[in-house]
Amino acid sequence: MKSVVVKRSIVIAGHKTSVSLEEPFWLGLKEIAHGQQMTVSSMVGHIDTKRSQGNLSSAIRLFVLDSVRTQTPAMAQSNVQNAA
C-alpha cells in the first residue's frame, strides 16, 4: 500500500497551522470527528491541548491509533499480551 504524506492546512484555536498526515490517518481522524459530532478543526484543537510532547502530526496519528485500539477489543488484548 502506497503511503503518501499530505500536508494539510487547518485552523485551530483561531490560528492556521499545517499537519502532515498519510491519507488513512486523515480519513480516520475525519471519521472519529464525525462520530463525535465535531469538526475536524475542533477535534485537532482537542488533540493539540492534550498532547504532552511531540509534534501535532504525530499526536494525531497516536490519537487515531488509540481510537482504533479501543474500538477493537481483540487488537487491544493482543497489544496487552505483546507488552507483557
pLDDT digits (tens, 9 = 90+) for 18-68: 999 999 999 999 999 999 999 999 999 999 999 988 899 999 999 999 999
How many whole angstroms from its chain centre is CA 22? 11
Q: Which residues of 29-47 are buried (b: 16+ CB within 10 A; e: fewer)?
A: beebbeeeeeebeebbbeb
Give the predicted TM-score (pTM) of the model.
0.80
